[in-house]
Amino acid sequence: MSTIEIAGFLTALTGVYLTIRQNRFCWPVNMLSAAIYAFFFMEIRLYADAVLQLFFIVMGVFGWISWSRKAEEAPLRVSRIRMRESVLLFLVAISVMLLLGYLLYRHTDASIPFLDSFCFALSIIATWLAARKILESWTLWVITDAIYTGMYLYKASYLTALLYLIFIVLAVSGYREWKRTISQVSSK
């Protein structure tokens, strides 16, 4: 367990907690966590995860802007995904996994190129959905975090595996909280 992994662990937990609470400061905290974890994942040869952290930083800017609407504008509300978009995003995830997994397999010393690439694709989609306040982002995070937990156990990154177990619990909590928000809006 390294100092960098501990710092990533603490900032990541804080960021997800703030995301559940729909606090816009989740985005800069998540960006800091991503920067820390980018270095950690390079150390353990999970290159897709390292690049994913750079995506999280970019999405942090998008999320901050989306969630920071001016008072006179309608705030971004939690909504549901359409089936057509779900199918399209699934096809994107499979395509990204196959392409990136192949590239990592052929051109790097990545330790788990296809699984790492699959989680990369799912994480991009879940983050995109969360930035748009789509309820199903949390469901996708539960699935992704379960896969990540096994991957980090395999890599003997036990603190990060624990973090992703906690993320599963937080994702279930986030789903319930955001679903409650939808219910409150629809009952008015």
Q: Which tens digit of pLDDT belongs to each residue from 31-42?
A: 999 999 999 999
pLDDT at 66: 83
37 or 68: which carries more pLDDT confidence?
A: 37
pLDDT at 74: 75
Arithmetic mean of pLDDT, 20-24: 88
Q: How confident is the model at residue 22 (pLDDT cuts 50, 70, 90)?
A: confident
The gap from C-alpha 85 to its chain's centroid, in whole angstroms, comes to 18
Per DSSP, what are the bridge partners of residue 134?
79
pLDDT at 70: 67
- Domain borders along the chain are 3-69+82-186
99 or 77: which carries more pLDDT confidence?
A: 99
Tell me which residue of 10, 7, 8 sits closest to 52, measured CA to CA. 8
Provide the 10 A C-beta neighbour count for residue 69. 12
Residue 187 confidence (pLDDT) above 90 = no
pLDDT, the chain, mean: 91
Residue 77 confidence (pLDDT) above 80 = yes
pLDDT at 11: 97
Q: How confident is the model at residue 20 (pLDDT cuts 50, 70, 90)?
A: confident
- The angle at the Cα of 32, spanning 38 to 111, to the nearest 5 degrees, equals 15
Torsion sign over Cα 91, 92, 98, 99: positive
